[in-house]
Structure 1
Amino acid sequence: MMFYLLQFQFFRDLIRQSVRWQIRWKWRGHSVNAITVSDRRIAVKNGDIGLRIYTPDGSGPFPVMVFYHGGGWIGCDLHTHDPTCRELCARSQHIVVSVDYRLAPEFLFPCAPNDCFEALDWVRTHGAELNADIKRLVVCGDSAGGNLAAVVAIKARTQFPGLIKGQVLIYPVTDHYSANTASFVEFANDKGLSAKGVKWLWETYLGKDTVPKGHRYQNDLATPLTCSDLKGLPPALVITAERDVLRDEGIAYAQKLADNGVAAKQTTYPGAEHGFLSSNGLSLECITALNEIAEWLRTHNY
């Protein structure tokens, strides 16, 4: 029913607002000190998008993380992932630039990855203004945002060689309808993210008639697991949830990175479900994952 209602603008806005308040409720009473937060808008092709910038206390310049939120490319925003970004900023002592890319179905693929890449370029050219050390820049995202972080890293490899020094991919989408994986079958009817939901999200993101029925879509800006060459990409931390339809494609992407000579660390969180880092408040697995990300960034050889 929710997927049907999302076809209509009024219900899309209502459901998006509901998700925002549900996540806020999960994080209620929690606050992060010793950071400053500011919003701004930047121009992108055929429009503009918002950024939310989180800066640790101190003199800097600080390393910088460009963050892309999840939500199946159709939902979530700066507000839903605000608590996560605050935690990442405080724990890692990185400036975090959260990107409010435009959503489907109003803006179909490749609008989202293009917006995300333009945001990366903006950060690249405004490092001094942000008090950021652009020589220590990483990208990060969860779910659909993990997909966008991965494809931005692939695109930046040729357009901005050496710019991105690391990628943190949190239960990322890496392939189109990974229906042959064990996790896609085992958790097909999961209440949080089902196989049917994944298929519908892909159709909504790409456009319903873009992919012929029964065919799998392949594009370096959409399905990084099918990219023929991953050599020269930045080191990666890939986090997956055990009880998640996307688990195996995340693991497969980490392995493919390693097979292409990329330093890749992969961690699967036992018993965790899709979305555990951003939508469940400070659960034990959320705290553990946040600390793992912060530690990986601290020990990362920039």
Structure 2
Amino acid sequence: MASERPTVVVTRRLPEPVEARMGELFDVRLREDDTPMSREALAQAMRDADVLVPTITDRIDAGLIAQAGPRLRLIANYGAGVDHIDVETARQRGILVSNTPGVMTDDTADMAMALILAVTRRIPEGLAAMQSGEWQGWAPTAFLGGRLAGRRLGILGMGRIGQAVARRARAFGCQVHYHNRRQLRREIEEELGARYWESLDQMVARVDILSINCPHTPSTFHLMNARRLKLMKPEAVIVNTSRGEVIDENALTRMLRAGEIAGAGLDVYEHGTGVNPRLRELKNVVLLPHMGSATREGRIEMGEKVILNVKTFADGHRPPDQVVPAML
């Protein structure tokens, strides 16, 4: 492939600078509209392309990979998470998978803190009162929220984003606790002022705020199930900027409605755009449209990572951000 420009099919509209640079380097096929490809269109793209550039909205399962043409040798995902791609089946077919790790760390951590503040300080309720014209002036007991300083923040998943959340939360005076597959090195724990809990059950029972920052894998599906959610204190809040499948959304909704959990801030949902309608009715819930990484800078950097992976592969080398099943 090093002697000719690879055919690269992009499944969604990307920032203009990214599309322009792809056009300079590759035989790129871009979308005219910004809607997800149908399954049939994805199958055709995988028959035609040397490289497919999908996003989280494209489910690349074993059935689609079976329809891939002999030219397809790289799936260069635009995004860090690859739970929508059957990486093992791709590997068996000789198709490499790459992603864009590390780019949206700060942006997503910023959004996690924004949701924590929004829920604990009741910002959406205040905004709604102002927009409706109902506000009648300051009152000593109006819109009383909670102070962040001194609260225990539990972080589920202490990778790049979890650590970035910890740094921000510590600046607000929070006590940082975390659960992770592996305990961090002592020097990192000391830098973050973080306490490790081997038992997730014990941690969630003690924290005031729980931030979900782990990826979606078979082992994390419904990690926060009904039993574990019931361990949380009634005055605790939960924030998720990672993957919706980590939380049993129906169980969470029931507990929020019953006052068994004080509030939630969600940027991701178990069934994608199919958000539980009962969640939309709750004043103690802040819902965002999966915008944790939505900064101009971050989305351009994601595109630059994709381009680097594709260019390196086209030059006959291993993509720097290759994903292998053992990593998942």
Q: State TM-score, norm by structure 2.
A: 0.30
- Given the two structures, how large is their TM-score scaled by the length of structure 1? 0.32
Q: Which has the higher strand share?
A: 1
CA radius of gyration, larger in? 2
